[in-house]
Amino acid sequence: MLEILLKNLKEAIEADKQKESLGLTPAEKVKEMLKSGNAIFVDVRPPNKVVGKTAPEAGIPNSYYLPVTEFADRCQEVFPQDKNAVIILGCAKIKFSNRVMGYLEALGYKNVYVLDEEIEKFIENFQ
């Protein structure tokens, strides 16, 4: 099990090196990725950090709400089986998104990105 975890992490680190800013992605790029229909967006804020609407409630396309605190129990509901799927994570201060990015990479996902701004601002400006 440890060997698989280390292999996944090494592969994820190599994949991250190929991404601009190691996967920390500006809002405009995230919008493009979502509008192309080739990515999912996951709002990972814990319930007590949600101000206003969650991403799905706000109408962000291909979005889900999965609080970081429920990741282990519900990740199979949200994340595709395809480990090459493009996944973008958002939260209030980036901290929880980075944590979930690490979880996903440990599980073998290769194309995980983090929104480089507070999700409330992203939701407010999404068009």
**54-106 tens-digit pLDDT:** 999 999 999 999 999 999 999 999 999 999 999 999 999 899 999 999 999 99
Residue 43 in this model has a pLDDT that exceeds 80: yes
Q: Report the sign of the C-alpha dihedral through residues 12, 15, 21, 27, in that order.
A: negative
Dihedral in degrees, nearest 10, Cα atoms 77, 85, 4, 9 = -110
The domain ranges of the chain are 2-125
Which amino acid belongs to residue 16? D
| pTM of the shown model | 0.92
Assigned CATH class of 2-125 = alpha beta
- Residue with the bigger pLDDT between 11 and 115: it is 115
Residue 119 in this model has a pLDDT that exceeds 80: yes
Residue 127 in this model has a pLDDT that exceeds 80: no
Distance CA 126, CA 60 (A): 7
Residue 113 in this model has a pLDDT that exceeds 90: yes
